[in-house]
């Protein structure tokens, strides 16, 4: 019973980190996800004057790495958790001061940003907590510039075992809804194994 309660609490913190422990879980996720973070950032293939949005930015590690490239003009992070955004702002304090970064509290199903703002949008391990609906995918399409791209990274299984729920979501929701929302060249790309988890990314162009 105690172990079950602890797992339930940990799952809640991964979904919506709160308080001091929430910030701890945010830093734990930074360490856990470094392999797939590096892979995802490479997939973005940034060129010049990129304006990038990360959905579910967590503690801001990926954005800090991204901003090391002079080709990234501006990066914004969106997250539901006020606690985790404090970590992200602290980690990217200099970039915020220079006007190259901003962190916004909000939900992917109703992104509090203007149309056609970003050349690249990405997300790493946050889609498990979304409502994967046409409204949500259309929101991502709305804030992306023409000729921009979106990259959504997630795990589909562990130790060779496929998670049927994630597989079903990919094939009956995410992939068809991206096409329905107007994304082109939608494809699934296999990524590296990370801590025995199988990583993939769904990529689409506007």
The count of residues in the chain is 206
CATH number at residue 38: 3.40.50.150
Enclosing domain of residue 10: 2-205
Strands (E), the chain: 50-55, 72-79, 101-105, 118-124, 144-158, 161-162, 184-194, 197-205
Report d(CA 111, CA 140) in Å as an integer: 8
Q: Which residue in this structure is represented by tokens 């939608």?
A: 186
Strands 144-158 and 197-205: antiparallel
Domain count across the chain = 1
What tens-digit pLDDT sequence spans the chain (206 residues)? 544 443 343 344 444 444 455 454 545 565 567 888 999 999 999 999 999 999 999 889 999 999 999 999 999 999 998 888 998 999 999 999 999 999 999 999 999 999 999 999 999 999 998 999 999 999 999 999 999 999 999 998 888 888 888 889 999 999 999 999 999 999 999 988 877 779 999 999 99
| Whole-prediction pTM | 0.85
Q: What is the distance between the alpha carbons of residues 86 and 167, in angstroms, rounded to a whole number?
A: 33
């Amino acid at each position: 019973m105690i172990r079950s309660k602890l797992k339930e609490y940990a799952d809640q913190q991964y979904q919506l980190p709160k308080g001091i422990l929430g910030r701890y879980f945010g830093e734990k996720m930074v360490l856990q996800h470094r392999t797939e973070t590096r892979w995802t950032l490479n997939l973005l293939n940034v060129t010049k004057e990129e304006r990038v949005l990360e959905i579910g930015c967590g503690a801001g590690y990926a954005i800090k790495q991204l901003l090391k490239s002079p080709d990234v003009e501006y990066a914004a992070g969106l997250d539901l958790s006020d606690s985790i955004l404090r970590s992200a702002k602290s980690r990217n304090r200099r970039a915020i001061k220079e006007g190259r970064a901003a962190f916004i509290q909000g939900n992917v199903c109703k992104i509090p940003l203007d149309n056609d703002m970003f050349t690249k949008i990405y997300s790493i391990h946050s889609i498990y907590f979304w409502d994967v609906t046409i409204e949500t995918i259309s929101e991502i399409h709305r804030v992306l510039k023409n000729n921009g791209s979106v990259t959504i990274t997630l795990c589909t299984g562990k130790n060779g075992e496929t998670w049927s729920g994630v597989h079903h979501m990919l094939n009956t929701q995410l992939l068809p809804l991206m096409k329905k929302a107007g994304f082109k060249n939608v494809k699934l790309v296999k990524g590296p194994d990370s801590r025995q988890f199988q990583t993939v990314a769904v990529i689409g162009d506007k």
